[in-house]
Amino acid sequence: MTAMLEIDDVDVHYGGIHALRGVSLKVEQGEIVTLIGANGAGKTTTLRAVSGLVKPTKGTVKFNGELITGIAPHVIVGRGLVMAPEGRGIFSNMTVEENLDIGAFLRKDKAAIAKDKEHALSLFPRIKERLAQNAGTLSGGEQQMLAIARAIMSRPKLLLLDEPSLGLAPQIVALIFKIVRTIAAEGTTILLVEQNAHMALGVAQRAYVLEVGEIVLQGPAKQLANDDKIRKAYLGIHE
């Protein structure tokens, strides 16, 4: 069976910097897979290579069996591979509702768009109350919710989440991860990049560990959560 997402032996260079070295990973339909690692390990670069924002210098990316390496980002979104970027990437001088509408800019099915907007807002009641507000006036947690809700408006088959917990208070992080579980349970496959290894390993079925641009460990998330090296390096647990 073909994996939904298949990254094979990918290298990425930024000028003289070798950011990714032979990265390979798979995401099967219906899974939450997490990619964990320290800041600067290459997690965001991996997602940028998948979504077409950077072109690998070596290797291939396949989505549903089709090669997407080097294809324009908007074409990749149209195929159902959508990213909620690190730092939220919302349009701060537009309203919350306008941000959501931009999420559906490639779609023409008006009735289904309206239904999806209702659904996105039911997942995030806090932003439903703020539809007419400028997105830049939202709190950090609300902006993160909006970024995920906007991505949902594209009807993703595979949702790439880049550091959804970054800079947020613990109770907001817990809420965001609860919603991530709900989105997955409703049938969206998720590749989650996260520095908060504890939360990521708690929500994912499988995990990959990235260090200085290379995958150094992979396996079932529960197994990695109990791995001594992972516990010391990423979970702050020292026996």
Q: Which two tokens stand for residue 37?
A: 């690692």
Q: Which domain holds residue 198?
A: 1-77+191-239
Q: Does the residue 203 lie in any domain? A: yes
pLDDT grade, residue 237 (50/70/90)? low
Read off the pLDDT band of 195 (50, 70, 90): confident
- Structural domains counted in the chain: 1
Give a yes or no: residue 162 inside a domain: no
Pairing of β 32-36 and β 189-194: parallel
Return the pLDDT at 119: 93
- pLDDT tens digits for range 44-69: 999 999 999 999 999 999 999 999 99
Q: How many other CB atoms are found less than 10 A from the CB of residue 46?
A: 30
Q: What is the CATH number of the domain that holds 40?
A: 3.40.50.300
On whether residue 114 sits in a domain, the answer given is no
Q: What is the mean pLDDT of the chain?
A: 92
- Write down the pTM of the prediction: 0.92
Query: Which whole-number Å values give the CA distances from 106 to 76, 148, 151, 222, in the listed order?
Result: 11, 17, 12, 38
Confidence of residue 2 (pLDDT cuts 50, 70, 90): confident
For residue 96, being part of any structural domain is answered with no
In a domain, 219, yes or no: yes
Q: Is residue 71 part of a domain?
A: yes
Residue 65 lies in a domain: yes
Is residue 9 situated within a structural domain? Answer: yes
Q: Is the pLDDT of residue 230 over 60?
A: yes
What helix, strand, coil percent values describe the chain, rounded to 5? 40, 25, 35
